[in-house]
């Protein structure tokens, strides 16, 4: 489904931490690619290793983390790159926006200072040019009166405006990949849709690839071309958004679909997956989702491999061929 070299390729990425309780397996053997201009969603509950995977794309993993595998940007491995070179990549080739724009922005610098600082750091341009660029971008992300907002501090902006400013900051150097970690979780529902639409539109207009990290498959449905489903540190399903929504092949993906808020269904009637994500220091030996799965069988207690179920469609479930799982359409009916 992709042509030529991918923009980014993650190969067999594993991240572990030593903790007093034992070795924590935060991410295990994760592999995926992102093509130039492509929008990919990464979904899973909290604790599934999504955010760490996102940070690894900027070489921002804590050094306490023990990392194996490769994160290749144009064939250059970010995990082996010296800090100085990484600084040149961050913000210029790969950018990131975070969940809570209030704390992610520096409270004592103006929005404008924070945007132009990125531009100046990477482009070495003068103050005036950086300012003009920042104001242009603020306008582009839909902030009214950009020249005034430029001089304001984060606390003077509304939540939605702050996240727009974060997006402007991330895009100021025209990066080729934007990692968005739960960018709408902290926002009001009405604002969420606007911000998602903005990210999608900017991605289309500029050809910026996006990795959208979220716990909400609904968010991915609106924005992304492909979906990576993560569970307990493993990729469990990797396919196009349409496939995932209509015919999920992994019980976990199906479970996430059932949890999407939708019209006509009261919040308390939404089916959430029973049980909890296992502790990363004490993972099941077989299928990691096994203990919470409705379709669990004895053979699920063997380690599960990610296998190609159909062209471009990878699933980590030994029963994927025999199960017919409800997709978004069935759930609405």
The nearer residue to another protein, 111 or 256, going by C-beta atoms, is 111
The one among 75, 108, 189, 285 contacting another protein by CB under 8 A: 108
Q: Which of 11, 24, 33, 60 binds another protein (CB under 8 A)?
A: 60
> Closer to another protein at the Cβ: 108 or 266?
108
Q: How far is it, in rounded angstroms, from Cα 267 to Cα 70?
A: 41
66 versus 297: smaller Cβ distance to another protein: 66
Q: Which stretch binds another protein (CB under 8 A): 3-11, 80-88, 220-228, 247-255?
A: 80-88
The number of residues that bind another protein (CB under 8 A) is: 37
Q: Which of 3, 4, 75, 84 binds another protein (CB under 8 A)?
A: 84
Written in H, E and C, the secondary structure of the chain is CCCCCCCEEEEEEEEEEEECCEEEEEEEEEEEEECCCCEEEEECCCCCCHHHHHHHCCCCCCCCCEEEEEEEECCEEHHHCCHHHHHHHECCCEEEECCCHHHHCCCCCCHHHHHHHHHHHHHCCCHHHHHHHHHHHHHHCCCCCHHHHHCCCHHHCCHHHHHHHHHHHHHCCCCCEEEEECCCCCCCHHHHHHHHHHHHHHHHHHCCEEEEEECCHHHHHHHCCEEEEEECCEEEEEEEHHHHHHCCCCHHHHHHHHCCCCCCCCHHHCCCCCCCCCCCCCCCCCCCCHHHCCCCCHHHHCCCCCEEEECCEEECCCCCCCCCCCCHHHHHC
Instruction: Give, in order, the Cα–Cα distances in Å from 71 to each of 32, 77, 263.
Output: 10, 5, 39
Q: Does 89 bind another protein (CB under 8 A)?
A: yes
Q: Compute the least distance from the CB of residue 274 to another protein, in Å.
A: 32
The smaller minimum CB distance to another protein, of residues 121 and 125, is found at 121
> Shortest gap between Cβ of 24 and another protein (angstroms)?
13
Using the rule CB under 8 A, is 131 a contact of another protein? no
Residue closer to another protein by CB (options 118, 241) is 118
Task: Say whether residue 118 binds another protein (CB under 8 A).
Answer: yes
Query: What is the smallest separation between the CB atom of 179 and another protein, expressed in angstroms?
Result: 8
Single out the residue of 31, 47, 100, 271 in contact with another protein (rule: CB under 8 A). Answer: 100
Residue 20 binds to another protein (criterion: CB under 8 A): no
Q: Per CB under 8 A, which of residues 136..175 are in contact with another protein?
A: 153, 155-156, 166, 169-170
Of 25, 39, 50, 92, the one binding another protein (CB under 8 A) is: 92
Residues of this chain that interact with another protein (CB under 8 A) are: 58, 60-64, 82-84, 87-92, 95-96, 98, 100, 103-110, 117-118, 121-122, 153, 155-156, 166, 169-170
């Amino acid at each position: 489904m992709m042509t030529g070299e991918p923009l980014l390729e993650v190969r067999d990425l594993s991240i572990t931490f030593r903790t007093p309780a034992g070795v924590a397996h935060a991410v295990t053997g994760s592999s995926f690619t992102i093509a130039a201009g492509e929008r990919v969603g990464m979904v899973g509950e909290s604790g599934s290793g999504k955010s760490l995977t996102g940070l690894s794309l900027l070489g921002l993993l804590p050094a306490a983390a023990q990392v194996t595998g490769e994160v290749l940007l144009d064939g250059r491995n970010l995990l082996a790159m010296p800090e100085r070179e990484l600084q040149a990549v961050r913000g210029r080739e790969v950018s990131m926006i975070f969940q809570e724009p209030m704390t992610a922005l520096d409270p004592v610098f103006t929005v404008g200072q924070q945007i132009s600082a990125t531009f100046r750091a990477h482009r070495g341009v003068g103050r005036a040019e950086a300012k003009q660029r920042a104001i242009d971008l603020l306008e582009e992300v839909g902030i009214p009166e950009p020249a005034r907002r430029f001089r304001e501090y984060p606390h003077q902006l509304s939540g939605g405006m702050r996240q727009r400013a974060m997006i402007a900051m991330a895009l100021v150097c025209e990066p080729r990949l934007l990692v968005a970690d739960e960018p709408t979780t902290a926002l009001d529902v009405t604002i969420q849709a606007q911000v998602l639409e903005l990210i999608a539109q900017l991605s289309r207009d500029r050809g910026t690839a996006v990795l959208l990290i979220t716990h909400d498959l609904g968010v991915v449905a609106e924005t992304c071309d492909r979906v990576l489903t993560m569970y307990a540190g493993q990729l469990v399903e990797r396919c196009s958004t349409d496939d995932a929504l209509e015919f999920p092949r992994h019980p976990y993906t199906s479970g996430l679909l059932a949890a999407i808020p939708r019209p006509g269904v009261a919040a308390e009637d939404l089916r959430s997956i029973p049980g909890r994500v296992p502790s990363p220091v004490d993972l099941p030996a077989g299928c990691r989702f096994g203990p919470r799965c409705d379709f669990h069988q004895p053979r699920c207690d063997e380690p599960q491999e990610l296998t190609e179920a159909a062209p471009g469609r990878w699933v980590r479930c030994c029963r994927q061929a025999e199960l017919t799982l409800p997709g978004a359409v069935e759930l609405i009916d």
